[in-house]
Amino acid sequence: MSPQISVTFWGVRGSIASPGPSTQRYGGNTPCIEIQCDDHTVVIDAGTGIRPLGVKLAQQGKGKNLDLLFTHTHMDHLVGLPFFAPAYNPQNTIRFWAGHLLPERSLEGACRHLMSDPLFPVPPDVFQAKVSFIDFDENSTISLTPEITVKTAPLDHPGRATGYRIEYGGKSIAVVTDTAHVPDAPNNNALKLMHDADIVIYDAMFTEEEFKDRPDWGHSTWEEGIKLANMASAKQLVLFHHDPSRTDEEMDKIVSEASKRRPGTIAAREGETLTL
């Protein structure tokens, strides 16, 4: 059988969870992406969407060897970690990875700060899985297994963030979220990760009109995503990190306009799976 890689979205909102009637079609959980490389599970970020992902993995008996890659450790990308069921199974081995904290801080330190009094009642020591925290230098290439390669690059975000390119079985998925851009100056790190990618998941929190008033907020636009995807000759563009105030109807309008400019462009929805 040929290798199979799939992407499932468990959290697609940015900044803060926004559940409710106006967001139920696209989803209100904060970032969490599941990438299955045949039987190996790779997770990007631990927003509120990681809780239902953990329930599913536990029910299916998956996640025994799991890698969780953090784009960064702002609250919306980290807050779900204490509720990730596979971390409480002693039969599991989980590696946590981050590239944005060195040299001043560490991933383990950030997680311990989250899971400490008065923010949380128990520390990460409560995890029963075999857990390791790995800090790497941005621009590194990581081999999760002999068959799964992860290329990394720094992104433009307050406090720093890391973009990822997961390669497996001749296919590639680029995750470029929590990054700003400079108008008319394409982000070379983003282009490097996106080059010829089968799927690009891109930070499209703002429209170009909204971005004019928020150029230093660390987020980009769907219009810039289209420009970069075209320049990088990427195949599928998926808009991600939706504004928490954006309603389903407003998202529909963005997707309609974006798909006119670049046919095939979609917006990530919770529960949706894309298979290569």
The confidence band for 121, taking pLDDT boundaries of 50, 70 and 90, is very high
The confidence band for 3, taking pLDDT boundaries of 50, 70 and 90, is confident
CATH of the domain at 193: 3.60.15.10
Alpha carbon distance 66, 259 (integer Å): 34
pLDDT at 62 over 90: no
The confidence band for 197, taking pLDDT boundaries of 50, 70 and 90, is very high
Buried b (16+ CB within 10 A) or exposed e, 45-73: bbbbbbbbbbeebbeeebbbebbbbbbbb
The pTM score is: 0.97
pLDDT at 274 over 80: yes
Residue 264: burial class (beta carbons within 10 Å; 0-12, 13-18, 19+): exposed
pLDDT recorded at residue 184: 87
pLDDT recorded at residue 152: 98
- What is the distance in angstroms between the CA of the first residue and the CA of the last residue of the chain? 13
Is the peptide bond prior to 82 cis by the omega test (within 30 degrees of 0)?
Answer: no
Average the pLDDT over 135-160 and give the result. 96
Alpha carbon distance 184, 17 (integer Å): 32
Average the pLDDT over 224-242 and give the result. 98
Give the phi and the psi of residue 129 in degrees, each rounded to 5: -70, 165
Indicate the range of 10-19, 36-45, 59-68, 175-184 predicted with least confidence: 59-68
In sequence order, the 6+-apart residues with CB closer than 8 A to the CB of 150 are 42, 69, 141, 142, 143, 144, 164, 165, 166, 167
Q: Which amino acid is it at 213?
A: D
Alpha carbon distance 64, 58 (integer Å): 9
Average the pLDDT over 31-52 and give the result. 97
pLDDT at 1 over 80: no
Alpha carbon distance 72, 223 (integer Å): 24
Residue 222: burial class (beta carbons within 10 Å; 0-12, 13-18, 19+): buried
Q: What is the mean pLDDT of the chain?
A: 96
Show the beta-strand stretches assigned E in 169-224.
171-176, 199-203
Buried b (16+ CB within 10 A) or exposed e, 160-169: bbbbbbbbbe
Q: What percent of the chain has a predicted confidence (pLDDT) above 70? A: 100
Q: Which amino acid is it at 134?
A: I
Alpha carbon distance 11, 39 (integer Å): 22
165 within 8 A of 144, measured Cβ to Cβ: no
pLDDT recorded at residue 247: 98
Average the pLDDT over 44-53 and give the result. 98
Alpha carbon distance 245, 38 (integer Å): 36
- Domain tally for the chain? 1
The confidence band for 64, taking pLDDT boundaries of 50, 70 and 90, is confident
Q: Which domain covers residue 99, as residue numbers?
A: 5-275
State both tokens at 175: 């995750």
Average the pLDDT over 187-204 and give the result. 97
Of the candidates 129, 125, 121, 127, which has an alpha carbon nearest to the alpha carbon of residue 92?
Answer: 129
Average the pLDDT over 223-247 and give the result. 98
